[in-house]
Homo-oligomer: A and B are copies of this chain.
Amino acid sequence: MTGTRRGRRPGGSDTREVIAAAARRQFAAQGYPHTSIRGVAAEAGVDPKLVQHFFGSKQELFVAVVDLPFDPAEVFPRLLGQDVEGVGRRLAEFVTSTLSGPGMTVLTGIVRAAASEEQAATMVRELVSTRLLGPLAAGVGADRPRLRASLLAAQVVGLHMARNVVGLPALVQAEQDELVAALGPLFQHLLTGELGPSSASPS
C-alpha cells in the first residue's frame, strides 16, 4: 500500500531480506541445530560471508529473523486494555487461534532453538524478554507484572509443546472453544488474581 518496492534499495536490503527469508524457512523446517550459515547462504544464493556480514553468528541470525506472527505492541494493549473480567478469555482466544495458524510454525522454531543448545536458549531468553514479556507486562494492572507475564509465557509454551509438538491426543482432539473455556480462567487468574506471597517481600 506504500507503493511498489521492487527496485534495489541502498545498503543491500533486498539481499538482506532474501537471506532472512531463507533463514526463517530453514529454522522453521529443519530446526535450529540442523540449520547452518552455509545452508542459508546456499538457499539465498550468496556467499556465507555475506550472511555473517549482515547478521553475525547463527544465534544472532536466529533472533534477527524470527518473525512473530503478530505485533506485541499492538496486540497486548488491545487485549489487556478492555474490561478486566474478560481479559483471560480474550487472551485464551488469541493464543489458541494464533497457535493454530502460522504462529505455530514460528513458535515451533523458537522452542526447537531453545531446546537445542545452551547458547540458543540465551538468544531465546533475550527475544522473549524484550519482544514479548515487556509489552505483555506493561499491560498487566496487578502486582508483579513480570512474574505474571512470565508465567503466561510458560503456559503458552507448554500448550504448544504438548498440543502441537508432542501431540497429546486429548489436546489435539479438543476444539478451540473447549481449550478457550479451560484456559480462560487460568489466564484470568494469572493476569488479575491474587498470586500469594512474594519471595521478594515476605510480608
Complex interface residues of chain A between 164 and 191 (CB less than 8 A to chain B): 165-171, 173-175, 177-178, 180-186, 189-190
- Chain B residues contacting A183 (CB-CB under 8 Å) are 151
Asked if A125 and B168 sit within 8 Å, CB to CB, the answer is yes
Looking at the complex, which one of B115, B153, B170, B181 makes contact with A165 (CB distance below 8 Å)? B115
What is the interface residue range for chain A against chain B? 35 or more
Asked if B181 and A114 sit within 8 Å, CB to CB, the answer is no
Complex interface residues of chain A between 134 and 182 (CB less than 8 A to chain B): 144, 146-147, 149-151, 153-159, 161-163, 165-171, 173-175, 177-178, 180-182
Q: Which of A31, A121, A174, A175 gathers the greatest number of chain B CB atoms within 10 Å?
A: A174
Segment of A36-44, A66-74, A193-201 in the binding face: A193-201
- A106 at interface (Cβ–Cβ under 8 A)? no
- A124 at interface (Cβ–Cβ under 8 A)? yes
Looking at the complex, which one of B153, B162, B189 makes contact with A157 (CB distance below 8 Å)? B162
> Closest CB-CB distance, A35 to chain B, in whole Å?
12
- A129 at interface (Cβ–Cβ under 8 A)? yes
Q: A149 to B174, alpha carbons, bound, how many Å?
A: 13
Q: A175 to B197, alpha carbons, bound, how many Å?
A: 10
Asked if B166 and A125 sit within 8 Å, CB to CB, the answer is yes
- A19 at interface (Cβ–Cβ under 8 A)? no
Looking at the complex, which one of B129, B171, B200 makes contact with A168 (CB distance below 8 Å)? B129
- Chain B residues contacting A34 (CB-CB under 8 Å) are 33
Q: A183 to B170, alpha carbons, bound, how many Å?
A: 22
- A58 at interface (Cβ–Cβ under 8 A)? no
- Contacts A/B (CB < 8 Å), 5 sampled: A33-B34, A114-B166, A129-B169, A147-B170, A150-B162
Q: What 3 A-B pairs come out closest when comparing CB atoms?
A: A158-B158, A181-B196, A175-B199
